[in-house]
Structure 1
Amino acid sequence: MTTGAALPHPLLAGVSTTPVRRRASGRGWQLVALIAALAALLPIAAVVYLSIAPSDGIWDHLWSTVLPRYIENTILLMLGVGLCSALLGFGSAWLIALYDFPGRRWLSWALLLPFAVPAYVIAYVYTDLLQYAGPIQLTLRDIFGWERASDYWFPHIRSLGGAVIMFALVLYPYVYLTCRTALLEQSDNLMLASRVLGAGPARIFFRILLPICRPALAVGLSLVLMETLNDYGTVSYFAVQTLTAGLYDTWLNMGSLSGAAQIAVTMVGFALLLMFLERISRKSRERYSSSNRQRAIQARSLTGWQAWLATLACLLPITLGFLVPCAVLLDYAITYFDVSWNSRFFTYAGNSLFLSGMCALVLIVVGTVLSYSIRIQPSRLNRVLARLSCVGYAMPGAVLALGVIVPFAATDNWIDARMESWTGEGTGLLLSGTAFAIIFAYCTRFATISIGSIESGMQRITPSMDQAATMLGSSPLNTLRRIHLPLLRPSLLTAALIIFVDCMKELPATLILRPFNFETLATFVYQYASDEQLAQSALAALCIVLAGLLPLLLLNRASMQQHND
C-alpha cells in the first residue's frame, strides 16, 4: 500500500511550497492605508483651514442674524426626527420580535422597504399629494363645497413638522433593524422569569426590554440623525433653514467661502458628537446583553382585535413610507413614460451607473487593502489609519463637497499657472469640476461601509489558514488572492451593493461637485421636482427606489441568518 503526501487545502492550490524564510513586513500595505487615511482627512483639513481664515466679518454677521435660527432649526429637526424614528422603529421591532400576529413574517422584512426611498423623493411626492392644488385637497373641497383656503384648515406639509415626518418615514428602519436584532438575541428565560415574578407587559417593556435595547437604540438613532444632518434636498424644498441650507446660502448666494467653512465646522461638530455618543453606547452594550442565551425568544400569540391592531401598526409606516410614494411614482411614470423615456434619461442613468460603479469598485479595493493590512500586521498604527479612513461618513455631503472642491481648485490653479508659464497654454480643470471630484467625495464618505463589511468578513476567516499559507511560502498578496478573496465574496458583494445604492441616492455632494451640464438621476429628480415637475422625473425617482431594494433584502437576510446561527 502506497502512502501519499497529504493533499493541501483546495484554496491553497497553486501556492508555492517553498519554505518561508522571513515574514513580509507589510510596509506596502501600510503605505496604501496611510494614503487612504490622508485622503479621508483632506476635506476636513481644508474646511478647518478655511474656517480660521479671515472672513471679513461674515461670521459676526451670520451670528447676529441667521446662524442662531439655523442651529435652532437643526436641533429641532434632529430631535423631532429622532423621537418619531424611535417610536416607529422600536415599536415595530418590539411587536415583530415578541408577538405573533397576522402577517408578522412578511412584515418583518417589509418594514425595511421605506429605507429604499430617499427623503427628498418622499418629500416631493407628499407635497404633490397634500398641497392646495393636490388631489387630496381638491377632493375635500369638492365634497364639502369649500371654495377658498380660508374656508377650512389643512396641515401645511412644507414646514418643519412636515420635514420631521418625511425623514422619520424613511429613516426609522435604522432603529428597527438594530433594535430587532438586539431583542432577538435575548433569551426567552428572561421573559419567563419576569412573568413568574409578576411583571406585566408594561413593566417588562419599561424595566427590561427598553434598557436591553438602549445601546442598539442609540446606534440606530445616531445613524438617523447623521442622515438628517446630511440632507439638503428635503430641507431646501420645504424651506427649512438648517445648517446645511445655511452653508449653501452663505457660499453660493453670499459668496463667502470662509463663512461657509465656519458653518461646516459647526456641522462637523454635530456629527462628531453623534459618533462619540454612538461609541459610548456600543462600549456599554454587553452590560445589557444576555451572555448565556439558552433558548430563543418565543413570540407570544395575539388574538382578536389586539392581533389586527399589531398588524395595522406595522403596516402603517410601510404604507406611508413605501407603498404610497411608489404608487404615485409608478402612476406618474406610466402616464408620462413617453416624455421621460428619452436620450436624456439614458444619459443621466449612465452617469449615475458610472459614478456609483466606479466608487463601489474603488472602495472594495481600498477596503480590502485596509482590512488585510490590519490582519497581516495588527499594529496600533494600522488600526488608527483604518479608523481615520472612516471619518468621512461623519461629514455631511455639503461639508464634504466644500472640503473637496477647495484643495482641488487650488491644485488646478497651481498646475494651470505652471503649465502656462512653461508652455504658454493652460491645462484648465483637471480635478475640480470633473467626475473624479465626485468619485473622490463618494469614496471619502462611504469608505466606512466597505471597511466595516470587509473587516467583519475577515474576522470570520480562521488565522490558521494564513499560518498554513505562510509556512508554504506564500506571499501576503498571493494569500489574499487565493484564500481570502474567495471566502470574502459575500462580504464584498454586500458592501458593493450598499455603496452603489448610497451613491445613487447621494444629492448634496453631487449638486456642488458635478461638472457643467452633468446630471445624475438624483440631481435630475431634484431639479425637476424643485420646478414643480415631479411627474416628468417620476421614472428616474422610481429607478432610484428600485435600485435600493436588493441591498435591503440582502441586509435583512444576513441579519436573520446571524440570529438563527
Structure 2
Amino acid sequence: MLRSGHLWRLASLLVAALALLPLLALLAAALQGDANVWPHLLQHVLPPTLRDTGLLLVGVGALVILIGTACAWLVSAYDFRGRALLDWALLLPLAVPTYIVAYAYMDLLHPIGPLQTALRALLGIDSPRDLRLPEVRSLGGCILVLGFVLYPYVYLPTRALFLMQSATLLEAARTLGAGPGAVFLRVALPLARPAVAVGASLALMETINDIGASEFLGVRTLTISIYSTWVNRTDLAGAAQIALAMLALVAALLLLERRGRRAQRYDAAAQRARPLAPTRLRGFAGAGALMLGSIPVLLGFVAPALYLVDQSIARLRFSGLPPALLDATLNTVTLAALATAVTVALGTLVAAAVRLVPGVTTRCCERIAGLGYAVPGTVLAIGLLGPLGAFDVWAGDALERQFGASVGLLTLGSGAALIYAYSARFLAVSVGGVESGFARIAPALDHAARTLGEGSVGVLRRVHLPLLHPALAAAALLVFVDCMKELPATLLLRPLNFETLATTLYGEAARGTYEDGAVAALIIVLAGLLPVMLLARVGRRTEPTAAAVARPTA
C-alpha cells in the first residue's frame, strides 16, 4: 500500500502529465507531417508571418515599456490632485480583452464611423474622401491598440518596485547634482529593470496569444496562420509545425525576460529603508500630470467602454436582447465555472503537495504545471486536437461494441476539450494564488496538527482549507474571468454550433455587424472589472511591499 507521501507525488505527476500532454502531442503531430511542407513554410508562410509578428512584438514591447514605466514613475514620484484615482484607474485596461478594444476602434475610427463623421461635420467637409484619418487596420494601428491595452502588465510591477526603492539612494543622486530626469534614468529605472522585464514579457506573450485583434486589424501573425491552416486547410500537421515555430519564439521571449532579471537582487536592508516621498505638484503642474496620466486610461478603457455602452443601448432599444446571446452567455458561464472548479482543484492539489511533501519531485511538477500560461491558446488547442481525437475514436468504438450505440465525439463534441484546454492554460494562475495563501499559514500549525494525530489529508482538510478561503476565492475569480475571455482555444476546440460570448463577438465583428456584438463585448468587460477591482484593493493594502504582478510567468 502506498504511503501518503507517495500518493501526493503521484497526484502531482498526473497533473503535470496532463499539462505536458498538449506540448508532447504537438511535437508528435509536427513530426508526422510531410517533410516537404517545410520548404513551402520557409518560403511562403513563415517569412511574412514572422516579419509581421516580430514587428508587432517590437512595437508593442516598446510602447508598453514607455507607457507603463512612465505612468508608474508619475504616480510613485509625484503627488497631485487626483493621483489616488489615477493610481487605480491605470489598471482598468486589464479588464478589456485586446480583441474587444480592436473591435471598438475599428468602428470608432472607420471612415464613416462616429469620430471621422463628427470631425468632418465640425470642419464643414461633406465627403469622406476629402478627410480621412490614418487607417486603423494596419500594423501601426494594431501596435497602438495592443500597447494601450497591455501596458498595465508593466505598470503594476514597476510601480511596486519604485515604491520599494530607498529614498536615500535617490536623495544621494540629487545631492550629487542629478536633476529629476537623471535621477529617473540613471538610478530609479535601472533598479526597476527586473519588474520592467517581467511585465514586458507578459505583455508580449499576450500579444503572441492574440488572434482577434490581429485579424480584425489586418496583421497576419503566427497565431492567425496556425488557425487558418487548421480551419481552412484542415492540415493539423502543418498547423503543428507553425505552432512549433511560435513555441520557439515564446521560449526566446522567456529567455530574454530571464536575462533582463539576471543578477538583479535587492539587499534586505535596502528593502526596509525609508520609502520614496513623492514630490507635491500644484496648480498647472498637477493638472498637467493628471491629464498626461489619464491619456492611457482614456484610450485603453474609457473610449472603447463608452462605445460598447452606446452600441449596446442602441441594440437593446432596437430589438431587445437576442435569444442567441442568452444561449452564448449561459454557455460561457457554464464552461467557465466548470473549468474554474477543475483548475482550482488541480492547483490546490499541486500547491498542497509542495507544502505537505516538499522535494524535487513536487517542485518540478509545480513548474511543469505552470507551463500552460506561457503557451498561446492556439498552440495548446492544436496540441490537444490529436490526443483528444484519438481518445474519442477509441472510446466511441469501445462503447459501440459494448452497447451497440454510437456516442459520437465524447470530448471534442461535448465541451470537455475546452475545459481541459482552459485548465491547462490557467493552471499556473491557480497554483500561484493557492501558494500565496499557503505562504500566509505558519508551518507551526502543520506541526501542531501532526502532533495531534492528523495525517496529510487531515491537515489539508481541517487546517489549510479553512484558512485558504480568501486565496482560493481570488484564484477562482481570476481563472473564471480568464476563461470567459479566452478566444483562440475556444475557436479551435468548441463543438459545432456552440457559441460563447467571445466567439459570438468574433463572428459579429467578422461580419461587420458591430451593434450585435457590442452587448456580448460589454458583458465580458463587466466581468473583467471584477479581478481588476480585487487587484486594486490588494495593491492598496500591500502598497509598501508589493513586488509582483498577479499573473505568473513560467
TM-score range (shorter-chain normalised) is over 0.9
Q: Distance in 2 between matches of 1:76 and 1:51?
A: 26
Partner deviation per Cα, 1:323-373 (whole Å, 9 max, x = no partner): 111111111111211535243222211111111111211121111111111
Counterpart check, 1:335 vs 2:314: yes
Counterpart check, 1:558 vs 2:541: no
Aligned to 2:427: 447
Structure 2 alignment gaps of length 5 or more: 546-554
Aligned to 2:204: 225
Q: How does 1:230-245 map to 2 (within 5 A)?
A: 230-245=209-224
Give how far 1:108 is off: 0.3
Give how far 1:254 is off: 2.6
Is 1:40–1:392's contact at 8 Å kept on the other side of the alignment?
yes
Give how far 1:405 is off: 1.7
Give how far 1:143 is off: 3.9
Partner deviation per Cα, 1:269-314 (whole Å, 9 max, x = no partner): 1122222333444453315886343212111012333222211111
Aligned length, in residue pairs? 543
Give the 3-state SS of the residue equivalent to 1:131 in structure 2: coil
Is 1:24–1:476's contact at 8 Å kept on the other side of the alignment?
no
Counterpart check, 1:472 vs 2:452: yes
Provide TM-score, normalisation by structure 2: 0.94
Aligned to 2:519: 539
Q: Distance in 1 between matches of 2:269 and 2:68?
A: 22
- Give the 3 Å change call, closer, same or farther, for CA 559–536 of structure 1 in structure 2: same
Q: Which amino acid aligns with 2:366?
A: A
Q: Which amino acid aligns with 2:348?
A: T
Give the 3-state SS of the residue equivalent to 1:548 in structure 2: helix
Aligned to 1:355: 335
Q: Which amino acid aligns with 1:363?
A: T
Q: Which amino acid aligns with 1:514?
A: R
Is 1:364–1:450's contact at 8 Å kept on the other side of the alignment?
yes
Q: Give the RMSD, CA atoms, in angstroms.
A: 1.8
Q: How does 1:425-436 map to 2 (within 5 A)?
A: 425-436=405-416
Q: 1:493 aligns with which of 437, 461, 473?
A: 473
Counterpart check, 1:66 vs 2:45: yes
Q: 1:253 aligns with which of 227, 232, 236?
A: 232
Q: Distance in 1 between matches of 2:320 and 2:354?
A: 48
Give the 3-state SS of the residue equivalent to 1:549 in structure 2: helix
Q: Distance in 2 between matches of 1:123 and 1:79?
A: 19
Greater C-alpha Rg: 1
More off after superposition, 436-445 vs 528-537: 528-537
Q: How does 1:306-321 map to 2 (within 5 A)?
A: 306-321=285-300
Q: How does 1:203-222 map to 2 (within 5 A)?
A: 203-222=182-201
Q: Which amino acid aligns with 2:415?
A: A
Q: 1:509 aligns with which of 489, 492, 496?
A: 489
Is 1:185–1:290's contact at 8 Å kept on the other side of the alignment?
no
Q: 2:21 aligns with which of 42, 55, 58?
A: 42
Q: Distance in 2 between matches of 1:50 and 1:538?
A: 38
Q: Distance in 2 between matches of 1:279 and 1:300?
A: 33
Give the 3-state SS of the residue equivalent to 1:516 in structure 2: coil
More off after superposition, 285-294 vs 230-239: 285-294
Q: Distance in 1 between matches of 2:470 and 2:369?
A: 22
Partner deviation per Cα, 1:439-496 (whole Å, 9 max, x = no partner): 1000000000010111122122111111111011011111111211122122111111
Q: Which amino acid aligns with 1:555?
A: L
Aligned to 2:242: 263
Give the 3-state SS of the residue equivalent to 2:86 in structure 1: helix
Partner deviation per Cα, 1:236-292 (whole Å, 9 max, x = no partner): 111211101111122222332111101101111112222233344445331588634
Q: Which amino acid aligns with 2:108?
A: L
Q: Which amino acid aligns with 1:133?
A: I
Q: Distance in 2 between matches of 1:485 and 1:423?
A: 42
Aligned to 1:15: none
Structure 1 alignment gaps of length 5 or more: 1-22
- Give the 3 Å change call, closer, same or farther, for CA 158–376 of structure 1 in structure 2: same
Partner deviation per Cα, 1:36-66 (whole Å, 9 max, x = no partner): 1000011101111111113262221121112
More off after superposition, 140-149 vs 318-327: 140-149
Give how far 1:204 is off: 0.5
More off after superposition, 426-435 vs 335-344: 335-344
Is 2:5–2:357's contact at 8 Å kept on the other side of the alignment?
yes
- Give the 3 Å change call, closer, same or farther, for CA 358–180 of structure 1 in structure 2: same
- Give the 3 Å change call, closer, same or farther, for CA 230–289 of structure 1 in structure 2: farther
Give the 3-state SS of the residue equivalent to 1:433 in structure 2: coil
Q: 1:369 aligns with which of 343, 349, 352?
A: 349
Is 1:432–1:513's contact at 8 Å kept on the other side of the alignment?
yes
Q: Distance in 2 between matches of 1:149 and 1:218?
A: 43
- Give the 3 Å change call, closer, same or farther, for CA 497–423 of structure 1 in structure 2: closer
Is 2:8–2:357's contact at 8 Å kept on the other side of the alignment?
no
Q: Which amino acid aligns with 1:195?
A: R
- Give the 3 Å change call, closer, same or farther, for CA 424–155 of structure 1 in structure 2: same
Give how far 1:81 is off: 0.6
Aligned to 2:31: 52
More off after superposition, 417-426 vs 451-460: 417-426
Q: Distance in 2 between matches of 1:289 and 1:168?
A: 34
Q: Which amino acid aligns with 1:230?
A: N
Q: Which amino acid aligns with 1:389?
A: A
Is 2:505–2:517's contact at 8 Å kept on the other side of the alignment?
yes
Give the 3-state SS of the residue equivalent to 2:151 in structure 1: helix
Q: 2:281 aligns with which of 286, 292, 302?
A: 302
